[in-house]
């Protein structure tokens, strides 16, 4: 605001006359546009001169290079404006700016108007202009000239700073100096009225406005409140009798940043209750006020008992996290959300004694002598059962994410056998191919447990099943019936099958009702962090927030998001690798085997690339977005020709035209000739058939077994391969190998083609390198040099880093997850450059 002064011409008499006039609501004589524009002219110091006369005021301005003026005439109680401007709005605005200048003049001339020299008799030449004179007809004529003391009271409210005005008599009587309705002066004489006019002018200058609600002047702008208290109020205190209410002192410090600390306790209903404390823990912040402060973000807020405050960034994050919690029917959070919000740090949250005992019992395992477990469990398996038992007893649910081959199934069997509720059945949900595995494993380790398929027909005399096993597809079809039942345990095996939160099977799993819920998977995160959200939404709804919040937080700050996600899931996920716990397991050696492409492959590969570039252009990312199906088909063709041109639907090629098959043959001659068993994986079933034809031709006496998605009896080829003592080969599609088979009688593994996701390859390898393996396992990953397969290897590394950065807490994880489309953008360029 520009406070450069205008040139002022006036006499004492004219000044007092206009002070009386300005005590009325003069703004009502102008339009809204004139008022708004006039305030702008006044604030910018555009008034160059005002000249006060008894009946009028002349206001001069210089707007740019143009000089203009307005004349304000006052007749009786009527206000009239004449102006040199052709624009009537501008003419009125100049008049408004002049009136504001007069108010400022009145404030500046306060001492004169207060009659500092009243003890002196006016001279004859000044008698007409003396401010002590009372013109005939004045409302104060003949009234007592005793002047009361003007007393100002400063107070705070959520709406702003309040200044109340009172008259103080000698006997201490206090009377409001302003009309409650409109703030008009309530005075007994002209001197009192003059004081109120000065107050009004000063209040207006400091941007106060009269508030009928408070019966005083109100200043709402927070930054101006701080400035007023620190810089302006001291001058008021020297001119008026003043009083400050207790809360005013809080504003002296300016804008203060509040740091909140959560105070957690168990609610009456047994849930989690959070209160927010500040001021070294001595005060609890009202929940409504906390919400208001959070909503304002970086904008400060006037809180009477605190001053002008805003939440610290740390407090905003903590409070936002609590607001994301899904409350139970009693309005409380779940106890497990304590870890989701604050991790394990004692410095982050103040716990009630009861809640501290609860958390300590959950995090500090003690041997449970009462837990009678299966004999023969390995030490890490017993620890896994005890870990699950401890979480479930503390009203938490868990994700057992042991690496494949460490016996997650037997740990669940041991837990159910030790702690089942005989009055209720338990439910196991798994892929259809694994249903018989669960039934056979229960029969092997816990024959006393009655187990069967969900919904299977049984005789009327038969006892109800203790454990029911159902496939994901059947669960989806029967979810309405299943959702109406209540189970003891609900186990979701191979939980990566529900990673898509929008799929029907994922939604169906989340509808299962059970006292105790467990998810099992060796690959909790395959492609992106969202993979793990559905599993925890099944286990502990709301712990990871809503899906929208989950996605939003990852997009805004991936690094901070992954750190928080690790802290959230750490207490409820148990992940052991074979290298950590299965010390008896022999070594696993993984080697990349580079395969040259034949001239036949190179020609066909180049032709497909050229056609793709002509059809889709150089930007593969745009191609994927514009025509995803056709573009993925192009990529599949490139991958097929990288393996064997015979896989292309239009191509007929010899075995020798596949560089990869020739390399495989060389290694098989070396391996099979020394009596080893081999397992060969590919995602292309046709490629496996080509490999089988080559092996049958080269090794006519070799037993060959096969397992693909079309195999009706999965157990037969696995059983026969495992039981034979001869050198043998097993050909398996990656899809068929994802779950439910053990092939540890082999010690050589060949992965014929890389896949985008390293977890798929890891699952395949773990069919051979698992508990029961007694030999070193040699794994060969074949890839065609200079093709799309090299880019796939880079993408595998990115996804492995993602898994480690969230699940294994590795520092190697990238800050940004490369999505599939972004990672594919340069595939054609890579292939062309080779």
pLDDT digits (tens, 9 = 90+) for 629-668: 887 788 888 889 999 999 998 888 898 999 899 999 988 9
Pairing verdict, β 209-211 and 66-75:
unpaired
Please check whether residues 259 and 211 belong to one and the same domain.
Answer: no
Output 67 or 584, whichever has higher pLDDT: 67
Q: Across residues 277-293, what is the average pLDDT?
A: 74
Q: 243 and 274 share a domain?
A: no
Write down the H helix ranges in 708-826: 715-723, 758-765, 788-806, 820-824
- Please check whether residue 521 lies inside any domain of the structure: yes
Supply the pLDDT for residue 113: 43
Residue 815 DSSP code:
S
What tokens appear for 595 in the block? 């395969």
- Total-model pTM: 0.59
The pLDDT, as a whole number, for residue 10 is 84
Residues 592 and 557 in one domain: no
* Class of residue 537 by CB neighbours under 10 A (exposed 0-12, middle 13-18, buried 19+): buried
CB 278 within 8 A of CB 260: yes
Residue 478 CA to its chain's centroid (Å): 35
What span, in angstroms and rounded, lies between the C-alpha atoms of 772 and 747? 12
In a domain, 646, yes or no: no
d(CA 263, CA 79): 63
Domain boundary among 581, 616, 638: 581
Contact 491, 537 (CB under 8 A): no
84 and 187, same structural domain? Answer: no
Residue 258 pLDDT class (50, 70, 90 cuts): confident
Q: What is the per-residue pLDDT for 812?
A: 30
Residue ranges of E strands in 13-169: 47-52, 56-63, 66-75, 78-83, 149-157, 160-168
The string of pLDDT tens digits covering residues 781-790 is 998 888 888 7
Phi, psi of 553 (to 5 degrees): -65, -35
What are the two backbone dihedrals, phi and then psi, of residue 402, each rounded to the nearest 5 degrees?
A: -55, 145
Arithmetic mean of pLDDT, 82-97: 92
Read off the pLDDT band of 513 (50, 70, 90).
very high
Q: What is the pLDDT of residues 124-156, one digit of tens each?
A: 333 333 333 333 333 444 444 577 889 999 999
The answer to whether residue 208 scores a pLDDT higher than 50 is: yes
C-alpha distance from residue 393 to each of 147, 336, 343, 651 (Å): 79, 12, 20, 62
Residue of 123, 94, 107, 114 lying closest to 35 (CA atoms): 94
Report whether 529 contacts 562 (CB < 8 A).
yes
Q: What is the DSSP letter of 684?
A: -
Q: In the structure, what pLDDT confidence band is assigned to residue 811 with cuts at 50, 70 and 90?
A: very low
What is residue 376's predicted lDDT score, i.e. its pLDDT?
85
In a domain, 625, yes or no: no
Half-sphere exposure (Cβ direction) of 781: Cα atoms closer than 13 Å: 17
Q: Return the CATH number at 543.
A: 3.40.50.10810
| Domain shared by 238 and 260, yes or no | no
Residue 25 lies inside a defined structural domain of this protein: yes
Closest CA to 419 of 377, 373, 376, 452: 373
Tens-place pLDDT, residues 48-60: 889 989 889 999 9
Can you give 139-192 as a three-state secondary structure string? CCCCCCCCCCEEEEEEEEECCEEEEEEEEECCCCCEEECECCCCCCECCCCHHH
**Position 611 in a domain:** no
- Backbone CA torsion sign across 590, 595, 601, 604: positive
pLDDT at 327: 67
665/529 same-domain check: no
pLDDT value for 314: 80
Shared domain check, 263 and 249: no
Q: Does 499 lie in the same domain as 398?
A: yes
- Terminal-to-terminal C-alpha distance of the chain: 68
Residue in 49, 57, 64 with CA at minimum distance from that of residue 79 = 57
- The SS3 call for residue 503 is coil
Task: Return the pLDDT at 568.
Answer: 81
Q: Highest mean pLDDT range out of 344-348, 473-477, 591-595, 611-615? A: 473-477
Same domain, 353 and 409: no
CA distances from 534 to 432, 472, 538, 612 (A): 20, 14, 6, 37
* CA distance linking residue 397 with residue 405, whole number of Å: 23
Q: Which residue has the higher pLDDT, 254 or 625?
A: 254
Tell me: pLDDT of 176 over 50.
Answer: yes
Distance CA 163, CA 107 (A): 17
Query: Residue 92: which CATH number?
Result: 3.30.310
Task: Report how far residue 48's alpha carbon sits from residue 389's, in angstroms, rounded to the nearest whole number.
Answer: 85
Q: Which helix (H) or strand (E) holds 258?
A: strand 255-258
pLDDT digits (tens, 9 = 90+) for 723-739: 888 899 999 987 776 66
Is residue 424 classed exposed, middle or buried when 0-12, 13-18 and 19+ CB atoms within 10 A define those classes? Answer: middle
Residue 443 and residue 478 share a domain: yes
With beta carbons less than 8 A apart as the criterion, state whether 381 and 407 touch.
yes
- How many domains does the chain contain in total? 5
CB 661 within 8 Å of CB 597: no
Helix (H, G, I), strand (E, B) or coil at 717: helix
Q: Which among 329, 359, 389 is the end of a domain?
A: 359
Is residue 123 scored above 80 in pLDDT? no
Spatial distance between the Cα atoms of 802 and 529, rounded to a whole number of angstroms: 8
447 is written with which tokens?
A: 């024959």
φ, ψ at 413 (rounded to 5°): -60, -45
Please determine, for residue 831, whether its predicted confidence score (pLDDT) is greater than 60. no
Residue 481 lies in a domain: yes
- Report CA-CA distances (Å) from 343 to 377, 395, 544, 564, 574: 31, 17, 13, 9, 16
Spatial separation of the C-alpha atoms in residues 705 and 699, rounded to whole Å: 14
In a domain, 793, yes or no: yes
Q: Distance (Å, rounded) from C-alpha 747 to C-alpha 774? A: 9
> What is the average per-residue pLDDT within 489-511?
93
CB-CB contact of 717 with 706 (8 Å):
yes
Specify whether the CB–CB gap between 445 and 459 falls below 8 A: no
Burial status of residue 64 (CB atoms within 10 A of its CB: 0-12, 13-18, 19 or more)? exposed
Which pLDDT band holds residue 670 (cuts at 50, 70, 90)?
A: confident
- Six-digit token string for 275: 């209160």
Q: Is 683 left (phi over 0), alpha (psi -120 to 50) or beta?
A: alpha
Alpha-carbon distance of 113 to 832, in angstroms, equals 92
Residue 351 sits in the same domain as residue 486:
no
Mean predicted lDDT score pLDDT of the chain:
81
Say if residue 282's pLDDT is above 60. Answer: yes
* DSSP H/E element including 301: strand 301-303
* Cβ density class 337-375: b for 16+ within 10 Å, e for less: bbbbbbbeeeeebbbeeebeebbeebeeeeeeeeeebbe
Q: What pLDDT, on a 0 to 100 scale, did the predictor assign at position 797?
A: 65
Which H/E stretch holds residue 274? strand 272-278
- Is residue 304 situated within a structural domain? yes
Question: Which pLDDT value is given to residue 428?
Answer: 96
β-sheet bridge partners, residue 242:
152
Secondary structure, 3-state, 363-431 = HCCCCCCCCCCCCCCCHHHHHHHHHHHHHHHCCCCEEECCCCCCCHHHHHHHHHHHHCCCCCCEEEEEC
pLDDT of residue 405: 77
The reported pLDDT for the residue numbered 109 is 65
Q: With 0-12 CB in 10 A as exposed, 13-18 as middle and 19+ as buried, what is 548?
A: exposed
CA gap 529, 807 in Å, rounded: 10
- Domain residues for the domain of 704 are 588-597+655-822
What is the sign, positive or negative, of the torsion defined by CA atoms of 523, 525, 531, 534? positive
Spatial distance between the Cα atoms of 224 and 555, rounded to a whole number of angstroms: 38
Between 61-75, 481-495, 505-519, 756-770, the lowest mean confidence (pLDDT) is in 756-770
Q: What is the mean pLDDT of residues 299-315?
A: 84
Same domain, residue pair 485 and 576: yes
In whole angstroms, give the CA distance from residue 810 to residue 801: 8
CA-based nearest residue to 534, from 513, 503, 563, 565: 503
Domain boundary among 359, 382, 397: 359
- Residue 382 neighbours by CB under 8 Å, 6+ apart: 373, 414
Split at pLDDT 50, 70, 90, the class of 403 is confident
More confident residue, 822 or 271: 271
Sign of CA dihedral 627, 628, 632, 635: positive
């Amino acid at each position: 605001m520009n406070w450069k002064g205008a040139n002022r011409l006036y006499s004492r008499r004219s000044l007092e006359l206009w002070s009386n006039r300005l005590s009325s609501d003069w703004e009502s004589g102008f339009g809204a546009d004139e008022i708004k524009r006039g305030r702008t002219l006044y604030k910018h110091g555009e008034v160059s001169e005002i000249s006060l006369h008894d009946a009028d005021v002349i206001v001069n301005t210089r707007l740019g290079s143009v000089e203009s003026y307005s004349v304000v005439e006052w007749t009786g109680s009527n206000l009239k404006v004449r102006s040199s401007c052709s624009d009537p709005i501008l003419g009125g605005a100049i008049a408004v700016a002049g009136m504001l200048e007069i108010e400022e003049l009145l404030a500046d001339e306060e001492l004169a108007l207060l009659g500092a020299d009243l003890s002196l008799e006016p001279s004859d030449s000044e008698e007409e202009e003396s401010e002590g004179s009372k013109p005939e007809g004045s409302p104060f004529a003949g009234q007592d000239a005793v002047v009361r003391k003007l007393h100002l009271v400063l107070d705070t409210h959520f709406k702003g700073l309040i200044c109340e005005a009172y008259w103080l008599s000698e006997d201490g009587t206090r009377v409001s100096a302003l009309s409650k309705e409109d703030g008009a002066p309530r005075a007994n004489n002209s001197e009192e009225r003059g004081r109120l006019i000065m107050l009004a002018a000063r209040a207006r200058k400091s941007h106060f406005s009269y508030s009928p609600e408070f019966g005083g002047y109100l200043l709402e702008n927070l930054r101006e409140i701080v400035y007023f208290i620190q810089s302006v109020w001291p001058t008021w205190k020297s001119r008026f009798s003043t009083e400050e209410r207790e809360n005013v002192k809080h504003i002296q410090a300016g804008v203060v940043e509040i740091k909140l600390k959560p105070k957690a306790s168990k609610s009456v209903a047994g849930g989690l209750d959070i209160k927010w404390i500040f001021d070294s823990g001595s005060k609890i912040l009202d929940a409504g006020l906390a919400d208001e402060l959070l909503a304002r973000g970086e904008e400060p807020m006037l809180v009477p008992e605190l001053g002008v405050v805003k939440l610290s960034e740390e407090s905003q994050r903590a409070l936002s996290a609590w607001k994301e919690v899904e409350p139970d029917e009693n309005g409380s959070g779940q106890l497990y959300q304590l870890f989701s919000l604050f991790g394990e740090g004692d410095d982050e949250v103040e716990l009630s004694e009861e809640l501290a005992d609860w958390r300590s019992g959950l995090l500090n395992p003690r041997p449970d002598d009462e837990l009678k477990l299966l004999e023969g469990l390995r030490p890490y398996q017993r620890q896994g059962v005890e870990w699950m038992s401890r979480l479930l007893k503390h009203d938490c649910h868990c994700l057992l994410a042991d690496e494949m081959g460490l016996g997650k199934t037997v740990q669940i069997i041991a837990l159910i056998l030790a702690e089942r509720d005989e009055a209720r059945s338990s439910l196991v949900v798994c892929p259809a191919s694994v249903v018989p595995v669960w039934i056979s494993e229960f029969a092997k380790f816990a024959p006393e447990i009655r187990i069967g398929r969900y919904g299977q027909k049984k005789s009327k005399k038969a006892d109800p099943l203790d454990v029911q096993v159902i496939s994901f597809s059947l669960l989806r079809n029967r979810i309405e019936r299943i959702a109406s039942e209540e189970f003891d345990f609900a186990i979701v095996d191979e939980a990566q099958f529900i990673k898509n939160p929008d799929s029907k099977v994922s939604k169906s799993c989340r509808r299962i009702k059970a006292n105790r819920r467990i998810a099992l998977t060796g690959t909790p995160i395959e492609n992106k962090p969202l993979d793990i959200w559905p599993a925890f939404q099944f286990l502990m709804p709301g712990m990871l927030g809503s899906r929208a919040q989950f996605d939003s937080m990852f997009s805004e700050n991936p690094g901070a998001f992954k750190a928080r996600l690790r802290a959230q899931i750490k207490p409820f996920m148990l992940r052991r690798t074979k290298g950590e716990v299965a010390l008896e397991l022999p070594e696993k050696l993984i080697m990349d085997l580079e395969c040259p492409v034949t001239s036949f492959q190179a020609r066909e590969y180049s032709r497909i690339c050229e056609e793709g570039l002509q059809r889709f252009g150089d930007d593969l990312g745009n191609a994927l977005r514009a025509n995803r199906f056709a573009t993925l088909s192009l990529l599949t063709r490139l991958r097929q020709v990288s393996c064997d041109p015979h896989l292309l639907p239009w191509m007929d090629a010899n075995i020798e035209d596949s560089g990869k098959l020739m390399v495989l043959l060389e290694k098989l001659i070396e391996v099979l000739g020394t009596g080893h068993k081999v397992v060969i994986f590919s995602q292309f079933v046709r490629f496996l058939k080509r490999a089988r034809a080559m092996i049958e031709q080269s090794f006519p006496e070799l037993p060959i077994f096969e397992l693909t998605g079309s195999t009706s009896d999965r157990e037969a080829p696995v059983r026969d391969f495992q039981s034979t003592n001869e050198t043998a080969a097993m050909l398996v599609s990656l899809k068929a190998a994802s779950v439910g088979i053990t092939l540890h009688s082999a010690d050589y593994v060949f992965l014929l083609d890389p896949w985008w996701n390293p977890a798929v390859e890891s699952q395949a390898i773990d069919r051979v390198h698992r508990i029961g393996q007694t030999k070193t396992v040699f794994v060969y990953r074949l890839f065609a040099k200079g093709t799309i397969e090299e880019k796939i290897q880079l993408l595998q590394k990115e996804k492995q880093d993602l898994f480690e950065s969230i699940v294994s807490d590795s520092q190697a994880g990238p800050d940004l997850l490369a999505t599939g489309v972004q990672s594919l953008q340069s595939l054609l360029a890579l292939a062309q450059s080779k």
